[in-house]
Chains A and B, each alone.
Chain A
Amino acid sequence: MIPVAFDYTQPSTVDEALASLAAGGEDAKIMGGGQSLMPVLRLRMAAPSVVVDCSRIDEMIGICEDDTHVIIGAATTHHAVMNDPLVKKYVPLLAEVTSTVADPAIRHRGTLGGALAHADPAGDQPSAAQALNAQFLIAGPSGRRTVDAKDFFVDYFTTAVGPDEILVSVAFPKQSDGWGYHYEKFSRTAQAWAMVGVAAAVRMEGGKIAEARVALTNMAPTSVRATSTEAALVGASTMADIAAASVNAADGTSPTSDIHADAEYRAHLAQVLTKRAVGKAAALS
């Protein structure tokens, strides 16, 4: 299919990108790897005035660390993220989640920042960011600011990134001792989006769960935390405990219905997958 004609620019710095965005006005669109934008353009569901391709901005590519965080440039590809030694060592949940995204071809072009800023409720990485309390560095005309994961995801395909702003990088706290992780993804075919996904991070103390973070994919307009289950999991030491706590996993969610899964079924899946994800994260299953 053929998109509507649009202008295209490929800036080499964040400032140039911001300038292009400002010049393009409200119909300007940022592109990372293009894996979500291109299908939308080809189906003529979007007609941007200009596409600002941020895939060649050095500052936005690559992975580094400081004392407490692993910092990943927004234009770093999924393939690079999931294979990076720092990510595998300090943020294994992100590596695991990223390895479930689509197929190798898409993972070689798609970017972490693109997926997070696109904020598809069925996307996998937002749940990793939620479960890990990632921090988002956003650049705009008036400077740079940092936003926590809990405030980053606003609504369907909507984040804290303003129309004149760009997501530059994402910082993930380094995993400390005692934490375990797992992502339980349930999809219709191997390469499909998650019907429901559950990212679990738990800290164990003396064989019991001391702290739990559970983020749900595709159960609401954005990735959400299953807060009542998180609270109920504290003190759990058996699969039976975890199962009991997981019964509330879908509380407060608002899953959609489509031909492959209705809201009732998604709510049921959220419970089962939460039990499984937490059980594996806690090494109790």
Chain B
Amino acid sequence: MTEVLDTANAIGRPIKRKEDARLLHGQTNWTDNIQLPGTVHMAILRSPVAHANITKLDISGALKRPNVVAAFGAEELGDLNGSVPCVWPVTDDIVMPDFPALAKGKVHHMGDCVAVVLATDATSAVDALEAIDVEYDVLPAVIDMEKAIAPGSTIVHEDKGTNTCYVYNLGGGYDEVAAKADVIVKRRFINQRLIPAFMEPRSVVAAPMGMSDEITVWSSTQIPHILRVLLALVTGVPENNLRIIAPDVGGGFGGKLQIYREEILVTQLARKLGKPVKWTETRSEDMVASHHGRDQIQDIELAATKDGKMLGLKVTLLADMGAYLQIITPGTPLLGMFMYPGIYKMDAYDFTCTGVFTNKTPTDAYRGAGRPEATYAIERIVDELANELGMEPMELRRKNWITHEEFPYTTVAGLTYDTGNYEAATAKALEMFDYDGLRAEQKQRRESGDPVQLGIGISTFTEMCGLAPSRTLGALKYVAGGWEHCTVRLLPTGKVEVITGTSPHGQGHETAWSQIASSILGVPVEDIEVIHGDTGRAPYGMDTYGSRSLAVGGQAIKAASERLVDKARVIAAHQLECSPSDLEFVEGVFSVKGDAEKSQPLGAVAFEAFTAHNLPDGVEPTLSAEATIDPQDFSYPHGTHLAAMEVDTETGKVTLRKYVCVDDIGIQVNPMIVEGQVHGGLAQGIAQAMYEGASYDEDGLLQTASLADYLIPSSMDLPSFITGSTVTPSTTHPLGTKGVGEAGAIASTPAIINGIVDALRPLGVNEMAMPASPMTVWKTIQAAKGGAA
């Protein structure tokens, strides 16, 4: 099954994923599969309302139910009721409400945890929830962000006296350039609330390990290392006694970049009861209690000259925090703040973001985290400017984007993009798309009054990813670094362990990391094991999010592998009785330059390092090397995405007929994995444009609380994507790579909406709310017709 590789060229091969056999054959261990003797199961009583005082909570009935071991409300839990931490206080005067794992006297959103029951089986625990006597005094719910910050609003956290979490400003000078502008386009965009909806629901098992003070926590998480630090701080369990294991994890999309109240509860209750405790959420719980994403009101102004030169951009955001601040809730919109100018040159940029509390599920990172919102705003408003000026939208982009000879280029937002070639990616995309042919068809349909109109949507995006240079994070008040670690061990039998601090949940790290190590060590991919997601086996790491794993973690693998070769070279030189500089290292074999007969394979060096019978003086036994790398800069992938949208004007139904994207993510370690990442990202970004949206009623009840109402498209709803790439290697990342995990999700949303609006321009439609459901599209058309009449 395994393809035989020329290891020197292991990078760049679309080899099949090593991890898939166990995943596809059901031979893996998801957290919920972990069964420890004596486990008690936790079930959670959640608030059915958005905002209420708990006037009565009596758990005694639950204790009388069969098989129940214990039950707790906040009062019974006492000091063990830890608070969920936020590690990104974005301003000095940020308002940070307490977020206890179990609500203390008041619930702040539908799904807030009120009480827990523990029983010897999951069914008994769920049954016993019904015996808890709870009464709520329901309060008005704060739902609308503008109303929330208006005087007289109900306050989500009364002790704070305000629903404003923070106000963050960046830039300046917009008013001066706007005064000189011929055209100012103003739009309000709603970047709606989304639910990550990873396939594997959250699950946690915590167990005191008996033989020591260690507590092991298995969790379906993206961040075992960060979770260890935070769980230690929250629970008081010494960090050295906490081991976190993220087994195979079934998707995250940022939704598992979190320390959740349930992780705190399970850990604390395992300590208190001295038994393993397990909790696995239902999909219904996930929809209300796993963090949500996006949810911004974006007021955007773009000032330009009449011939289409962009002068300045003004961005004013309201960002919905939800009811509480979780790990990086306040910082998530700010991850987009540098990206609003996109790929364009301009003279001024004003940014203001106001974080707002509401009685909704907390928001936090979701695939792209801030950058999709920014990309949506800039790519939408550029199309609106083109319409205003009567310019071809791609021509307007060309006129303003950074040309390839201008890199490195420092943008008006202060980032320095290392490389890029927007011209090349765009030229390729236009050709693959048959842009001119589709424009001709569009013209024909318009002229014939076809009930099905055709629109072409453009998105020429870039983004910042590969989080992140630690000093930059520090300057933004984020309380952790952005480095990554790798240890490479060559075992006596010639096998290799690559121990990484990244923590995959579907990305294919085991395959791609093996390819990187293989290309340097000359060891076949199948002889390399990648160890991850366990703070016991892989103690150092900053985990997986923000398209950072390859961009940052890949550098550490490269550096550690090269250091290992350096050490092996010294040993091999000793064995071969030459100077290290006399050796060349090709395909895993050291040989003396000019005397190929004298050679030693790396595996033999490993065995010498193991026996230590004949090592040079001063060289320690064993063969391993490590590297901890702080990235020099973010990475800046870019691309041109084009969507052909058919809009049935009779029903409002939108059909994505053709989607072409050409992404430049620099060097590709495994193009097949890259394509998979692009496909998945596109599906999620398209879903935001056409299908998904978390909807609350005026009482703060989530109306899209199941997958029957919260619509996630399947493959049947999407066309076969046509993907391509250009390769402009990053100059700030030693492997020449850029991140790809979020690119598709970031780029595709505005392409779809731009395409729908483009189809309907002749009807007077200049804006389309997301998701562009058939009813929304039809009503928008009707409103435009009414306006015209």
Contact = CB atoms under 8 A, between A and B. Distances in A.
Contact of A188 (B650, B695, B711): B711
A231 interface: no
Contacts of B773: 188, 260
B282 interface: yes
Given A2-B123, A260-B775, A189 B714 contact: yes
Interface in A165-194: 186, 188-193
A259 interface: yes
B284 A1 contact: yes
Most buried by A among B283, B651, B691, B711: B651
A43 B711 CA distance: 19
Contact of B691 (A1, A5, A188): A188
Interface in A242-270: 259-262, 265, 268-269
Contact of A265 (B283, B709, B775): B775
A265 B127 CA distance: 41
Instruction: Bin the interface of chain B by size.
Output: 20 to 34
A188 B716 contact: no
A15 B284 CA distance: 39
Contacts of B123: 2, 5
A220 interface: no
A4 interface: yes
A265 B711 contact: no
A269 B650 CA distance: 8
A190 B127 contact: no
A186 B651 contact: yes
Interface residues of A, number: 22
Nearest to B779: A265
B122 A259 contact: no
Nearest to B651: A272
B726 interface: no
A269 B691 contact: no
A273 B709 CA distance: 23
Given A188-B691, A269-B651, A262 B775 contact: yes
Contact of B711 (A4, A186, A189, A269): A189
A4, A261, A268, most chain B CB atoms within 10 A: A268
Given A265-B775, A269-B651, A190 B716 contact: yes
**Main SS class of interface, B:** loop
A43 B703 contact: no
Contact of B716 (A186, A191, A259, A273): A191
A4 B283 CA distance: 17
Interface in B445-471: none
B126 interface: yes
Nearest to A275: B650
Interface string A47-65: 0000000000000000000
A195 B711 CA distance: 13
A257 B432 CA distance: 42
A260 B284 CA distance: 19
Contact of B695 (A1, A191, A259, A262): A259
B713 interface: yes
Interface in B309-347: none
Kindly name the residue among A191, A195, A260 whose own CB sees the greatest number of chain B CB atoms within 10 A. Answer: A260
B683 to A, nearest CB: 12
A189 B717 contact: yes
Interface string A189-214: 11111010000000000000000000
A235 B283 CA distance: 52
A56 to B, nearest CB: 26
B782 to A, nearest CB: 9
Given A4-B127, A272-B650, A191 B714 contact: yes
A115 to B, nearest CB: 16
Given A2-B126, A188-B774, A272-B651, A259 B713 contact: no
A261 to B, nearest CB: 5
A255 to B, nearest CB: 12
Interface string B703-716: 11000110111101
B713 A1 contact: no
B284 A43 contact: yes
A260 B652 CA distance: 12
Contacts of A269: 651
B16 interface: no
B778 interface: yes
16 contacts: A1-B282, A1-B283, A2-B126, A2-B127, A5-B123, A186-B651, A186-B653, A186-B774, A188-B773, A189-B712, A189-B714, A189-B716, A259-B695, A262-B775, A265-B652, A265-B779
Given A2-B126, A186-B651, A189-B714, 18 more contacts: A1-B282, A2-B123, A189-B691, A189-B711, A189-B713, A189-B717, A190-B714, A190-B716, A190-B717, A191-B714, A192-B711, A195-B774, A259-B695, A260-B709, A260-B773, A261-B774, A265-B775, A265-B779
Closest 3 CB pairs of A and B: A190-B716, A265-B775, A1-B282
Interface of A: 1-2, 4-5, 43, 186, 188-193, 195, 259-262, 265, 268-269, 272-273
